[in-house]
Amino acid sequence: MTAFDSVTVIGAGAWGTALATVAARAGRNVTLWARNAEHATRIAATRDNPRLPGVRIAPEIVVTSDLALAARADVLLIATPAQHLRGAVNLLASRIAKPVPVVACAKGIEHGTHKFMTEVIAEAAPGAQPAILSGPSFADDVARRLPTAVTLAAKEEALASGLVQALGSATFRPYHSTDIRGVEIGGAAKNVLAIAVGIAVGRKLGASAQAALTTRGFAELTRLGRALGARSETLTGLSGLGDLILTCSSPQSRNFALGLALGRGENPPAGKLAEGESTAPVLIELAASQNIEMPVSEAVASILSGRSTIDAAISGLLTRPFKAEE
């Protein structure tokens, strides 16, 4: 039994499509909303989405660009890129009649405002109950029913647990939490750190450097998390360390793949969303506002903005003063 019979996923990209399949697998009535009417019609007809090729979209999933229809669900999952989440929620806000859970499935921090995804939801749709879903989960793995586990956080434990019941299955295992901020920090920061590790691997710095950079990246993610009130079990959990390990170790990650290309001196993969690129500058602004040192993230932001070459950034990291491990 669940209080959430119907689920709408906003954003028909790779992740939105995977989440729609997950919700259908859990027995929900699912609507997948695409902003482009032609895309929606094509996906509905072919049951295939070029953004997640090779995954058959079950016939019972309604694919539409009709926002009024999409908004009529017990739960809304927002799976747009982070910088477009506010726009998507703005469109929905006037159509949200009851206090419906709106679950951020994007990983990032909003430019300009430094707001996390659930803060954006709370601002754009004051009638909503914001929640966040994040963790080590490639869309392709999730859609292909490979076992995955994520964290799902909401302010009220009962809501987080209810959402887990509505979306969970044997092959998609959400763990509930009330540490919204901890979950959001892990998802945002790990993408930036994965670019750094990808660069190191692309530069052939070796497996030891890969492990060291991932670990020191985790140290700075933890520093920021603690400063912003995250719980340590969240930072070492699925949405923190878990997602960092996944993203910093696999070329299947678009962020890692971007770093890999940069490190090799190649052109970045075209048309692939790498959220770390957008998150890097805002992450270091946020860290600076809290007096938190994030040298690895700063190096990524400097490289991406052209303020530093890759070799200068690597040399800068390697010549930092020795200090106690913390």
Ligand X SMILES: NC(=O)C1=CN([C@@H]2O[C@H](COP(=O)(O)OP(=O)(O)OC[C@H]3O[C@@H](n4cnc5c(N)ncnc54)[C@H](OP(=O)(O)O)[C@@H]3O)[C@@H](O)[C@H]2O)C=CC1
160 is in an annotated binding site: no
What CA–CA distance (Å, rounded) separates 124 from 88? Answer: 9
Residue count of the chain, please give it.
326
323 is catalytic: no
Q: 107: annotated binding-site residue?
A: yes
Q: Is 17 in the site for ligand 13P (CB under 6 A)?
A: no
As measured in angstroms, the least distance from the Cβ of 180 to ligand 13P is: 17
Cα–Cα distance for residue pair 115/249, rounded to 1 Å: 28
Query: Choosing among ligand X, ligand 13P, none, which partner's interface includes residue 14 (Cβ < 5 to 8 Å by kind)?
Result: ligand X
Q: Does residue 190 have a known ligand-binding role?
A: yes
Alpha-carbon distance of 193 to 152, in angstroms, equals 22
Given ligand X, ligand 13P, none, residue 136, with its beta carbon under 5 to 8 Å by kind, binds ligand 13P
Based on the shown chain and the rule CB under 6 A, indicate whether residue 279 belongs to the binding site for ligand 13P. Answer: no
One residue of 136, 162, 225, 240 binding ligand 13P per CB under 6 A? 136
Phi-psi region of 178 (alpha: psi -120 to 50; beta: other; left: phi over 0): alpha
Question: Does residue 249 have a known ligand-binding role?
Answer: no
Asked if 255 touches ligand 13P (CB under 6 A), the answer is: yes
Show the beta-strand stretches assigned E in the chain: 6-10, 29-33, 62-64, 75-78, 101-104, 129-134, 148-154, 172-177
Interacting residue ranges for ligand X, rule: CB under 6 A: 10-16, 35-36, 39, 51, 79-82, 84, 87-88, 105-108, 137-139, 273, 275
Query: Minimal CA–CA distance to 43: which of 17, 22, 67?
Result: 17
Partner residues linked to 173 by β-bridges: 149
Residue 179 contacts which entry, ligand X, ligand 13P, none (Cβ below 5-8 A, type-dependent):
none
Q: Is 115 annotated as a binding residue?
A: no
CB of 93 to ligand 13P, least distance (A): 26
Task: Say which entry of ligand X, ligand 13P, none residue 81 contacts (CB below 5 to 8 A, set by partner kind).
Answer: ligand X
52 versus 194: smaller Cβ distance to ligand 13P: 194
- Active site residue: 190, 204, 272, 323, which one? 190
Beta bridge partners of 230: none
Of the candidates 223, 227, 200, the one whose C-alpha atom is nearest the C-alpha of residue 212 is 200
Give the 3-state secondary structure percentages of the chain, helix then strand then coil, rounded to 5. Answer: 50, 15, 35
CB 99 within 8 A of CB 69: no
DSSP string spanning 137-149?
--HHHHHTT--EE
- Minimum CB–partner distance for residue 161 and ligand 13P (Å): 22
What are the residues binding ligand 13P (CB under 6 A)? 107, 136-138, 191, 194, 243, 246-247, 253-255, 275
Residues that constitute the known binding site for sn-glycerol 3-phosphate? 107, 135, 137, 190, 243, 253-255
Catalytic residues: 190
Q: Which residues are annotated as a binding site for NADPH?
A: 15, 35, 107, 139, 254, 273, 275
